[in-house]
Amino acid sequence: KQGTLLQNCKPKLKYVNFKDMMFNDLDKNWIQLKFDEDYGKDEQPLWQYQYLKHGSCCQKMYNQNAYFSLALRLKDRFDILRTLQLHQIFPGSSYTFKEIFDAVKTATQMDPDLKCT
């Protein structure tokens, strides 16, 4: 059933490109690494995708600016790298999925949505 995973809810939203301070905050904290810098700035594909997919499900409560402001505030609540370090998990070494899952869960108090690639 569409919408049960809090994605792609109706009605479909319209994304408006950021050109102000919010652009600077997103560009600093939610970097569009998969895209050329100019393309990322002009088209904002990552933010647009996230907003249309997930922001659509909270559109009655949050407009586009409020949605991204909340996302940035939530990002600052959890220092995942520090959490992993506290659990003796460091970049460049191998760990089980469960070790990483359990470490992140201690910080968020929820089952993290992790995927191995």
- Whose structure tokens read 């992790």? 114
Q: Calculate mean pLDDT across residues 50-54.
A: 93
Is 103 in contact with 111 (CB distance < 8 Å)? no
φ and ψ of 22, to 5 deg: -60, -40
The confidence score (pLDDT) of residue 4 equals 54
The confidence score (pLDDT) of residue 117 equals 67
The whole-angstrom separation of Cα 56 and Cα 3 is 9
Q: How far is CA 80 from the centre of its chain?
A: 13
Q: Calculate mean pLDDT across residues 8-31.
A: 93
Is 32 in contact with 48 (CB distance < 8 Å)? no
The whole-angstrom separation of Cα 4 and Cα 117 is 25
Model confidence at 1: pLDDT above 50: no
Give the model confidence (pLDDT) of 56-79 as tens digits: 999 999 999 999 999 999 888 888
- Whose structure tokens read 């499900």? 57
Domain range summary for the chain, segments of one domain joined by +: 21-77, 78-116
pTM of the entire predicted model? 0.69
